[in-house]
Amino acid sequence: MSDHAPAIKLEAPPVELERERLVSNNRDLGEISDQICDVMERPTPLWWKICMVPALLLLSMLGAMVAYLVTVGVGVWGNQHPVMWGWAIINFVWWIGIGHAGTLISAILFLLRQKWRTSINRASEAMTIFAVMCAGVYPLIHVGRIWYGWWLFPIPNSNDIWPQFRSPLMWDVFAVSTYFTVSVLFWYMGLIPDLAVMRDRCKKFFGKFAYGLFSLGWSGSNRHWRNYEKAYLILAGLSTPLVLSVHSIVSLDFAVSQLPGWHTTIFPPYFVAGAVFSGFGMVLTLLIPLRTVCKLQDIITVRHIELCCKVTLTTGCIVGYAYFMEVFIAWYSGSSYEKYAFWNRAFGPYWWGYWAMIGCNVVVPQFFWLKSVRTNLWVVFFLSILVNVGMWFERFVIVVTTLAREFIPANWGYFNPSPVDIMTYLGTFGLFFTMFLLFLRFLPMIAISEVKAVVPQADPHHPLGGAEEGGHH
């Protein structure tokens, strides 16, 4: 290709106007492939083994806890009267919320042509899927009679009894399962070209066979690319409303009921913002160490981290606004029950949960206004963990403090988690990290083809693009 000059050649923009490159150090396409595939092709790294051991242990603990729960009863948790939902629902909502960043990055940012998404979307989508899996564990096991859990699905039966379609829990079933299905499809769709790359690079028979099987005969032909791009666009379009709908519907579990503190119309947007907030927090938590251990600093750059911080800041402010608005409306409603619910959150026996939430979700993101903070990865990593802690407390505040003290004072109670609650929660981390580590080891954690598409070398019209300046060597 080097024998003819490009037809049109744009002037290079002035240096001060040039955006920071999405892939730094001017890596060329081959190097990108090598870098990303290296994670899978190297002998199993030590850090991976070190991480896998506790992950598997925690996963076994989850299995043991679920077995114990199923054989003995929900009473092994701390749930009680009146707090009938405890950590199970908190963790369900928390994990679902975490999932949101992946879909937002892969679908919405795709539609909005945010090219920086390419470096992080694959891992984020994987995170979404695994988080939804963790979340999905809870609704299944939290019911009293797990063996009848299938009654929640609209399966025709001889008794002609259908699920109750007015129940938000029913909507949850549909919302979460749709979300999971579409997320998996979307993720897999995006993986196909990369699986083909892996197929082509793999030297072992089994790997070749497996990657070959799942790459569905991808040859990189134009026809394939055209179909792929269309399908990807369609799935992005399908996923986009799901980003908004899933957590909206999860929020309806609360908003549709009539407890003071739950029964508010602000919940759907506020939950979505919170979900994106926590999702980006988790993306940061995962990617900051990953880019180092996997030596992907060129592809996941500090600019990516900064952009994630900005999204976190934005959604954090939305969440903070929602907190304020809840309190305002409670006061404005004139209902003493509403007023009490919010006073109780802040100053009741669970005050620590409320202030942990405010501190982590409203105060912490404000640090992201500072570029010095955004670019200091240690600080960002620490703050991103606080964001996730804060969002856990948000769900705790919503679920527990509301139920513990609502209408009739004689009913008031105080919820204490049981060790089984805590160990089940830790166990879901085992599930999450086991899945994630397997993903890192066997699937390209960065969308190779997409990253290649956003480097200047891929664009023949780009001043830096084409073969002349760092294209194919």
Partner 1 sequence: MNKSESIKATRATGPKYWRSLDHLADAPEFRKWVDHEFPSGAEAVTDPVTRRNFMKLMSASFLFAGLGMSGCRRPEEKIIPFARQPLDYIHGKAKHFASAMPTRTGAIPLLVKQDDGRPTKVEGNDSHPDSNGGTNSFAQASVLNLYDPDRATRFARNGDRVDREDALEAIRKVADAAAAKRGKGLHILADHSESPTRDRMRDRLLKQLPEAKWYEYEAIDHDVHRRAATVAFGHSVKPYYQLDEAEVILTLDCDFIGSEEESTLLMSKFAKGRKSDPEHPKMNRLYSVEALFTLTGAAADHRLRLPASAVHRVAAEIAAKVLSDPHFEKPEMAAIKDALVAHGGASGVDSGWISGCADDLKRHAGKCVVIAGQGQPEAAHLIAHAMNTALGNIGKTVQLLPVPARKGGSIGDLVNSLKSAEVDSLVILGGNPAYDAPADLDFVNAMEDAGEVIRLGYYEDESAPKNGWSLPAAHYLESWGDVRTADGTLTPVQPLLAPLFAGMTQIELLARLAKDAVFAPYDLVRETFKGVVGGKNENAWKRFLHDGFLADSAPSALTRVRLMADRVASGVRAANKLPVLGGNDYEVVFHPDSKVDDGRYNNNGWLQETPDPITKLTWDNAVLMSPATANKLGLDNMKGYRDGVHDKLYKESDGEVADFHDGEHNYAERGEFHPEVIELTLGGRKIQGPAWVVPGMADNVFGVALGYGRGYASESKGGTGRVGDGAGFNAYELRGADSLKHAVGVKVSRTGKRYQLASTQEHGTIDGRSLIREMNFDKFADKDSEYADFAKGMNMPHPPGMEELPNHGLAYENPLDELRKNATHSWGMAIDMSACLGCNACALACQSENNVPIVGKDQVTKGREMSWLRMDRYFSGDVNNPQMSHQVMVCQHCEAAPCENVCPVNATTHDDEGLNLMIYNRCVGTRYCSNNCPYKVRRFNYFDYNRRPLNDLYNSPANPWNRKDGEWELTRWVEDRSRGNVDDDQWDLLALARNPSVSVRMRGVMEKCTYCIQRIEGAKIAQKVKAGASGNVEVPDGTIKTACQQACPAEAIAFGNIDDPESKVSKLKAQARDYDVLDYLATRPRTTYLGRVRNPNPDMPDYRDTPETFKEWKAHGNHLAHHGHGHGDSHGHDSDHGHDDDHDKEHGEQAGKGGHH
Query: Which positions touch partner 1 (CB under 8 A)?
Result: 67-68, 71-76, 78-85, 142-146, 148-149, 151-152, 161-164, 166-170, 173, 253, 256-259, 334-337, 339-340, 343-344, 346-349, 403, 405-416
Q: Which is nearer to partner 1, 227 or 333 (CB)?
A: 333
Please state the closest distance from residue 278 (CB atom) to partner 1, in A. 23
Nearest to 303 by CA among 6, 98, 22: 22
Distance of closest approach, residue 201 Cβ to partner 1, in angstroms: 47
- CB of 344 vs partner 1, minimal distance in Å: 7
Q: What is the nearest approach in angstroms of partner 1 to the Cβ of residue 335? A: 7
CA distance 173 to 421: 23
Our CB check for partner 1 shows the closer of 181 and 333 to be 333
Give residue for tokens 């600080």.
379
Nearest to 454 by CA among 20, 154, 72: 20
Query: Given the complex with partner 1, which of 220 and 349 has the nearer CB atom?
Result: 349
* Cβ distance to partner 1 smaller for residue 26 or 167: 167
Query: What length is written for the chain?
Result: 473
**199 three-class SS:** helix
DSSP state of 406: S
Return the number of the residue (337 or 381) whose C-beta is nearest partner 1.
337
- Selection from 34, 211, 242, 223 nearest residue 125 by Cα: 242
Q: Which is nearer to partner 1, 159 or 372 (CB)?
A: 159
**From CA 273, how far away is CA 250, in angstroms rounded?**
13
214: phi then psi, degrees, rounded to nearest 5: -80, -15
CA distance 164 to 348: 35
DSSP state of 359: I
Q: Cis before residue 417, ω within 30 degrees of 0?
A: no
Residue bearing tokens 């008031």: 412
Round to whole Å and give the CA distance between 143 and 89: 11
CB nearer to partner 1: pick between 68 and 225: 68
The tokens for 189 are: 């769709």
User: Which tokens belong to 320?
Assistant: 């903070």
- Alpha helix stretches (DSSP H) within 334-460: 336-347, 351-358, 371-375, 377-396, 402-404, 419-442, 448-454
DSSP 125-149: HHHHHHHHHHHHHHHHHHSS-GGGG
Query: Among residues 277, 212, 206, 275, which one has the least CA distance to residue 244?
Result: 275
The least distance separating partner 1 from the CB of residue 400, rounded to whole angstroms, comes to: 11
Task: Between 2 and 159, name the residue whose CB sits nearer to partner 1.
Answer: 159
Using the minimum distance from each CB to partner 1, give the nearer residue, 268 or 465: 268
Whichever of 73 and 237 has its CB closer to partner 1, that residue is 73
CA distance 377 to 117: 19
| Beta carbon of residue 160, minimum distance to partner 1 (angstroms, whole number) | 11
428 Cβ contact list (under 8 Å, min separation 6) = 62, 91, 95, 134, 137
Chain-centre distance of CA 128, in angstroms?
4
A 10 A CB-CB count for 369 gives 11
Distance of alpha carbon 314 from alpha carbon 316, whole angstroms: 5
For partner 1, the closer CB: 145 or 461: 145
Is 71 or 372 the residue whose CB approaches partner 1 more closely?
71
